[in-house]
A and B are shown apart, each in its own frame.
Chain A
Amino acid sequence: MNNTLHRLIDGIIIALEREIIPRVDDAYARGQAFAVMDLLRNMRPRLEWSRDITLAEVGLQEAALARVDELCRAQAERPPAWKPSAAAASTLSTHELEQRRDRLETEVCNMLKWLAEHRAALDPVVAHAVEATLAGYMRDAVKRELALTANPLFAEISRGANA
């Protein structure tokens, strides 16, 4: 997901309160909508994004960056040294894990840029292996996220009605 959980819950409550409930004519349906708001308010302080999902993402990132570091060890041109974090990912809170995931994504981005800029100075076999490692990481990461993403309801959203 690309929004924080708490912002999404707040946004859903705002939509119910300002956009939906005032336009619902049926009292029972309005009561149900108020109940949804009530439940969301109670769930909000108790919820966070899945720690397991973020932990798996961080695992993929660390494996890819460690592999690139290993591939480049004998090269004259080397990317900035990969230093695994002191604290094991499994010991971090969800918030700390999300911060680590974001930092590691930046490192992968920097590695892609480094490869593009230094490719000519690398052994072609190594350059290809680095590229394949980074591409493989991106493919695995996107597959994992896609498996968690429901089909969009853009047609219904655009029409304001069932497709």
Chain B
Amino acid sequence: MYQPSESELRERLTAFIEQQTGKPASVSRLTRYSVGFSWLTYGFEATWEEGAARQSHQLIARIGPPDGIFAPYSAAPQFLVLKAIERTGVPVPRVYWYTDSPQTLGAPFFVMEKVAGEAPLPWVPGGGSAFDDTTRAALGEQFVAALARLHSFEWRGTPAERLDGARDVGTAAAAQIEFWERYLRRHERRRYPILEWALLWLRANSPRAPRISVIHGDYRIGNFLVLDGRINAILDWELVHLGDPHQDLGWMCMRAFRGRSPLMCHLIAREELYRRYHELSGIAVDPRAVAFYEVFGTFTLAVMHVGAANCFEGGGFDDLRMAAMGAQLWRLLSQLERLLSGETP
């Protein structure tokens, strides 16, 4: 299992920063965070010379472990897209450097600023409200506005042009289905009929995309930081790709991220989401396409659980959180079964 010691990590990060800045640097206060089931997240303080003075920076290193759930990883897509959109009004952390070479840390990684704030989680004790009404309304508006800006972003001619995904509005859904089916086949240790049923349904019901946008891929509660009632940063861009904007909307609307709440991601009513998103992005929302991507999203989340169980079982990844995730697969299969049976999401 990929697990560098703290002293080794500190030493290598120091050398990396010195190489990037061309100045003597030091790294301290290295802390591993428990957030994130895929990339490993370490916080640290780095100091190096800027001008005449030594400046301290609170930073985050995100490392894609060679035995992780989405291995083999590349840090390039996240870095490139975060760089490309940093002045678009989508709140994102500033990124500093990245490498896909295993030479420095034994795995791809990138370094970004540590943004202050708390990440509200989708799992609310007792199934109640995650926010008071005022906070919820403010966060909901910002969350939709950030998504509208991301989807309106003209990625052609920017580094985001190098992202994986579809360039053709007619095949955006098919490309994603194919991607996730490959992932499923790589990780399944037994077949799951509900997943096969879902694949058949998805192929038969694929919508045409209204345009090709940068898709976050995991746009939901839990993946943004809140400080003083405002969204400070949208995080976790590891599934970023080019595709149908309805994909992020469908993901936002999934039952898995709202539990029993009638509000999408505990933030906003479905109709209000569609209306504000359209107003802010100019992209008309097709409710049938959102419904398609809710089924698709529930399918992919279930497939990720299959991947987590397999990484633990035979992939040499000893992180028990993977097994805990795998143990919840049937919850996702139940949600998927209800969607495929025509129940209202």
Please judge, given known A-B contacts A116-B200, A154-B121, whether A146 and B331 are in contact too, CB under 8 Å: yes
B191 touches A105 (CB 8 A): yes
Residue B179 lies at the interface, judged by CB distance under 8 Å to chain A: no
Binds B, one of A32-40, A43-51, A88-96, A137-145: A137-145
- A-contact bits for B282-324, CB 8 A (1 contact / 0 none): 0000000000000000000000011001001100001011011
Q: Of A1, A8, A163, which one neighbours B123 at CB under 8 angstroms?
A: A163
Number of A-B contacts (CB under 8 A): 104
How far apart are B120's CB and chain A's nearest CB, in angstroms? 10
B residues less than 8 Å from A157 (CB atoms): 34, 321, 324
Tell me, rounded to whole Å, the shortest Cβ–Cβ distance linking B31 to chain A: 11
Whether B191 lies near A102 (C-beta < 8 A) is yes
B103 within 8 A of partner (CB): no
Contacts A105-B193, A154-B123 hold; do A2 and B318 have CB atoms under 8 A apart? Answer: no
A135 CA to B196 CA, complexed, in Å:
12
B182 within 8 Å of A (CB atoms): no
Q: How large is the interface on B (under 10, 10 to 19, 20 to 34, 35 or more residues)?
A: 35 or more
Q: Which of B189, B193, B312, B330 makes the CB contact (< 8 A) with A149?
A: B330
Interface size class of A (residues with CB under 8 A): 35 or more
B35: A residues at CB distance < 8 A: 158
Task: Please report the C-alpha to C-alpha distance between residue A102 and residue B197 in the assembled complex, in whole angstroms.
Answer: 17
* Per-residue A-contact encoding for B191-218, CB less than 8 Å = 1, 0 else: 1111011001000100000000000000
**Does any Cβ of A come within 8 Å of B334's Cβ?**
yes
Whether B331 lies near A105 (C-beta < 8 A) is no
CB–CB A15/B320 < 8 A: yes
Question: Does A4 lie at the interface of the complex (its beta carbon under 8 Å from any beta carbon of B)?
Answer: yes
Q: Is B168 an interface residue (CB 8 A)?
A: no
Interface string of B115-129 (1 = CB under 8 A from A): 000000101010000
User: Given the complex of chains A and B, what is the CA–CA distance between A31 and B312 in angstroms?
Assistant: 27
When distances are taken between beta carbons in the complex, the residues of chain B under 8 Å from A83 are none
Tell me, rounded to whole Å, the shortest Cβ–Cβ distance linking A159 to chain B.
7
Interface of B is mostly: helix
A139, B341: Cβ atoms closer than 8 Å:
yes
Query: With A and B bound together, what is the CA distance between A150 and B51 in angstroms?
Result: 56
Question: Inside 8 A of B191's CB, which chain A residues have their CB?
Answer: 102, 105-106, 108-109
Instruction: Kindly list chain A residues whose C-beta atoms are within 8 Å of the C-beta of B66.
Output: none
Answer yes or no: A14 CB below 8 A from chain B CBs.
yes
Are A138 and B337 within 8 A (Cβ)?
yes
Residue A85 interfacial (CB < 8 Å): no
Q: 0/1 per residue, B164-201, Cβ < 8 Å to A? A: 00000000000000000000000001111110110010
- In the complex, the chain A residue whose C-beta lies closest to that of B195 is A109
List, in ascending order, chain B residues with CB within 8 A of A74's CB.
none
Contact A109 B323 (CB under 8 A): no
Tell whether, in the assembled complex, residue A159 and residue B121 are in contact, meaning their CB atoms are under 8 Å apart. Answer: yes
B328 at the interface (CB under 8 A from A): yes
A134 interface residue, CB < 8 Å from B? yes
Residues of chain A with a CB closer than 8 A to B123's CB: 152, 154-155, 163
Q: Specify which of B197, B309, B334 is in contact with A3 (CB 8 Å cutoff).
A: B309
| Nearest CB of B to A68, in Å | 12
Partner of B121, one of A15, A112, A158, A160: A158
B243 within 8 A of A: no
Does A105 contact B341, Cβ atoms closer than 8 Å? no
| Contact call B337/A142, Cβ cutoff below 8 A | yes
Chain B residues, Cβ within 8 Å of A149: 327-328, 330-331
Q: Which residues, 92 to 119 on A, are CB-close (under 8 Å) to B?
A: 101-102, 105-106, 108-109, 112-113, 116
Tell me the minimal C-beta distance from A163 to chain B in angstroms. Answer: 5
A134 to B321, Cβ gap below 8 A? no
CB-based nearest A residue for B327: A1
Tell me whether B34 and A160 are in contact (CB under 8 A). yes
Q: How far is the CB of B30 from the nearest CB of chain A, in Å?
A: 15
Smallest Cβ-Cβ distance to B125: which chain A residue:
A163
Which residues in A have their C-beta under 8 angstroms from that of B196?
A: 109, 112-113
| Interface presence of A153 (CB below 8 A) | yes
A interface list, Cβ under 8 A from B: 1-4, 7-8, 11-12, 14-15, 18, 101-102, 105-106, 108-109, 112-113, 116, 134-135, 137-139, 141-143, 145-146, 149, 152-155, 157-160, 163
Q: A116-B204, A159-B121, A163-B123 are in contact. List 6 more A-B contacts (CB 8 A).
A: A3-B326, A138-B337, A139-B337, A142-B194, A149-B328, A149-B330
Q: Which 3 A-B pairs have the closest CB atoms?
A: A145-B330, A2-B309, A155-B123
